Amino acid sequence: MKHILLTASTIMLTTAMLGISSVALSDDDNNRGQADHRYNDQPGYSDRQYDQTYRRAQQKRPGVAPVNNPQYVEECGSCHFAYQPGLLPARSWAKLMTGLDDHFGENAELPTEDGNLLLDYLLNNAADHSNFKRSVKIMKSLHPSEAPLRVSQTPYFLKKHDELTPNRVQDNPKVGSLSRCEACHTEANRGSFSESEILIPNFGPWEESEKEEKRSKYRQR
């Protein structure tokens, strides 16, 4: 017991020293995101320390690696949510980046040099190069010949979202489309998609309202 207390206070002290305001050590996804920001923003940490911590966190924490490239956020997060590279395989990103002049009906072309830098970033951090839980699951759901351009068309994604009714998505003025991850997943930009963090605009938390509805539907059968 003494040992546990000591460990807990050491963690508190360490996090306090690092200037982290909220410590939620029990929530996997949350911590994962925090760990990344924390070490990324700490100039005092060597690359090796960063890598070690990152790897440790990666082994323990489910979710997707958060975006850690400001240029990516700027260029690919201006029209929509900056989709984490770990949400699609490298082959999908390669295909998407060669068709930016007709990107889902929009012109999202970039100067060659910028495009190449972002392509490198996407390829290096793609789902097939990540051991984060969601990346692994997305990869497992895909046939090696498949290279979807949409996260929202991967089999894993479709399976996870098949209980959402149109009134919550397409007909919900505050959502509109399943491509808008951040509309429902309150921690999406930290790479965290835990069920407990889902808040559907106009409907509320998924766990309570939606599950209750499902239960009542079940009872009616």
Residues that bind ligand HEC (CB under 6 A): 75-76, 78-80, 83, 87, 96, 100, 103-104, 106, 108, 118, 134, 150-152, 160-161, 164, 168-169, 175, 177-181, 183-185, 193-195, 198, 200, 206
Distance of CA 20 to the CA centre of its chain: 21
Give yes or no for a contact between 135 and 58, defined as CB atoms under 8 angstroms apart: no
**15 or 194: CB nearest ligand HEC:** 194
> What is the smallest separation between the CB atom of 134 and ligand HEC, expressed in angstroms?
5
Evaluate the CA torsion angle 55, 60, 64, 66 in order and state its sign. Answer: negative
**32 or 39: CB nearest ligand HEC:** 32
d(CA 4, CA 10): 10
**141 or 179: CB nearest ligand HEC:** 179
3-class secondary structure, 58? helix
In terms of C-beta density within 10 A (0-12 exposed, 13-18 middle, 19 or more buried), how is residue 66 classed?
Answer: buried
> What is the smallest separation between the CB atom of 26 and ligand HEC, expressed in angstroms?
16
> What is the smallest separation between the CB atom of 122 and ligand HEC, expressed in angstroms?
7
